[in-house]
Structure 1
């Protein structure tokens, strides 16, 4: 499947393939994680087509590279819907890109499948959200860090909606439960090394118990490198994140990432039959490039879509949304379903610590899948339990 950023696709006969859009960046600030979204999407489409497609018709992807630019996302989403006869799009990674395309998606009554974790506080009948929201990752991470690493938190993030909202939620949870935010700093998404170095020096000076990072892309990877170069020991002051996964630890240098922490529903060391099947297919297609939650959730949502499409035999948005509530996928992270109440995925939270080889060991896992609560209606830890004990 090749990226086509020049010519719109020609209309297909009605009995031809199921045309779908794929809108992930292969270049720009978020190219690394969005390429993983892209590869997971590719693998799922190829698997479905190799099995004969859906109702005898193959998935026919229209693919563009929005280059990590929200304006380009909006333009290309409009192009897909207006010129390419696409009504279903797998795409977007950052909240800024999702917010950019959402008015277009709703205007044309199309369906966006969004596989990234995000800050919550959104619902659209035209979006299926398959990534975690704060009650499925941030709450668990805050509880784990307060219990195991201390109460003094340093927050650093990129300057856009997802980091600011994630840090607001983290601050509220930490302060409600006796912790302290010693500093909160924001940098441009593609921050310069000098700015990153200044933050690392601040961390050395104030010596927090933990750093919660919502930096993204190249800036995040540079931050992790500078952290070790400046002599900060992650065993003593770890960086905790919702986003730094196996693909980027390899790019940073696995030996620099040991003891850092992630809260995610998937890491590729999971001992589940669905994950073993996924990793076998992944390695056969992509070799030694590691799978991560970015690729895994993108893979999952295409399979969920195909199961819904097999029921509807139609790309009608309302019919697909109704059908997706009725299907479930034995995914690499466990049985995956979409909550009818809010179009978000029901997921099992997990916390893992990075090894010196860049893989992650799970140190805590929820006892059961957690229903999504994107609006945090049960805010705080009142009903959150860790290892059977209330926090």
Structure 2
């Protein structure tokens, strides 16, 4: 998971640096304590407990996979901490001890399904990593596809540590199934292996693209720009957003980490959630979880993706919906974006209306 988790850490640290450069929060600097679970799910819960019990920390930023979030969740609930989770996820969860700042299915899957069926066809092949997020995200996408007259012609899962050789027979199977679209919920390093196998076996993204919710600029860079070109991702943020706010964010990030280092949606969410936390802490002047949560509900921030807020009903962020197509420069050309942030609907209560109107 380092290909994306490293960028989440960077987004967190750059936000902390900016806040401290402005004098900190009420005259006090934010001091990060950082642990690396090394992609071992059990370690996430162990480090969360260590942070809260030994280090005296009540507010935690982190986790990429849903499996890692679910390992931390019982710890923060039992010890009354607050986890800020900066990753898109499968939805259908609520906790008073979590602020969710990534997209939920109504903010990415709904519009992506609509666009893919309109442009490419209604035969989908699902491929994912074998854990909770891909299986649950595919459950949602399967319902969207079938409710709109489409079919799922295949569904396969590979282990998180799957290497490149394991994707070659999978792509051959996909090729035989003749789908119109490949919907990928493969995550981490394995993402690069899927796209490379696709490229090596001569499939054409102009006719049968891979569409994803998890393939960011970081994964495109790792797999090779030529390999990623033409494939689609639905995300709240892309580096190519043409606004002064985003240009400043990208410039600041690349000044610290290198001119060739791309930003991505998980990095951006990691960045804006720390800023929301700092503003809330300034108001409360307290790290008490209940006070922080009460004050952050409805809070707004002008993030690089655009104006975002924490939805007071769910504790999830109202973020933007965008669809991007990867280009030869390793960036995404934005082919669709919402007119404003989209209200979080983690339980898809209103998704049927969205399919008709969004």
TM-score normalized with structure 1 length? 0.90
**SS of equivalent residue, structure 1 residue 37:** helix
Residue of structure 2 equivalent to 1:109: 80
* CA deviation after TM superposition for structure 1 residue 157, in Å: 0.4
* CA deviation after TM superposition for structure 1 residue 151, in Å: 0.6
* CA deviation after TM superposition for structure 1 residue 379, in Å: 3.7
Residue of structure 1 equivalent to 2:208: 237
* CA deviation after TM superposition for structure 1 residue 53, in Å: 0.3
Distance in 2 between residues matched to 1:337 and 1:300, nearest whole Å: 10
Distance in 2 between residues matched to 1:101 and 1:327, nearest whole Å: 24
1:345 matched to 2:317? The reply is: yes
Residue of structure 2 equivalent to 1:325: 297
* CA deviation after TM superposition for structure 1 residue 219, in Å: 1.1
1:55 matched to 2:23? The reply is: no
Give unpaired runs (5+ residues) of structure 2: none
Cα RMSD for the two superposed structures: 1.1
Residue of structure 1 equivalent to 2:270: 298
Distance in 2 between residues matched to 1:217 and 1:280, nearest whole Å: 26
Aligned match for 1:354, one of 321, 326, 345: 326
* CA deviation after TM superposition for structure 1 residue 327, in Å: 2.7
Give unpaired runs (5+ residues) of structure 1: 1-29
1:69 matched to 2:54? The reply is: no
Matches within 5 A, 1:83-94: 83-94=54-65
Distance in 2 between residues matched to 1:214 and 1:230, nearest whole Å: 20
Instruction: Say if 2:319 and 2:341, in contact at 8 Å, map to a contact too.
Output: yes
Distance in 1 between residues matched to 2:239 and 2:165, nearest whole Å: 34
1:172 matched to 2:143? The reply is: yes
Residue of structure 2 equivalent to 1:97: 68
Residue of structure 1 equivalent to 2:198: 227
Say which structure is richer in helix: 2
Aligned match for 2:249, one of 265, 269, 278: 278
Matches within 5 A, 1:248-259: 248-259=219-230
Distance in 1 between residues matched to 2:241 and 2:332, nearest whole Å: 9
1:192 matched to 2:163? The reply is: yes
**SS of equivalent residue, structure 1 residue 93:** coil
Distance in 2 between residues matched to 1:304 and 1:311, nearest whole Å: 11
Distance in 1 between residues matched to 2:355 and 2:198, nearest whole Å: 32
Distance in 2 between residues matched to 1:326 and 1:343, nearest whole Å: 9
Higher relative contact order at CA 8 Å, sep ≥6: structure 1 or structure 2? 2
Structure-2 change in CA distance of 1:369 and 1:326 (3 Å): closer
TM-score normalized with structure 2 length? 0.98
* CA deviation after TM superposition for structure 1 residue 273, in Å: 2.2
Matches within 5 A, 1:129-140: 129-140=100-111
1:313 matched to 2:285? The reply is: yes
* CA deviation after TM superposition for structure 1 residue 326, in Å: 4.5
* CA deviation after TM superposition for structure 1 residue 236, in Å: 1.3
Distance in 1 between residues matched to 2:86 and 2:16, nearest whole Å: 15
* CA deviation after TM superposition for structure 1 residue 218, in Å: 1.4
Instruction: Say if 2:128 and 2:157, in contact at 8 Å, map to a contact too.
Output: yes
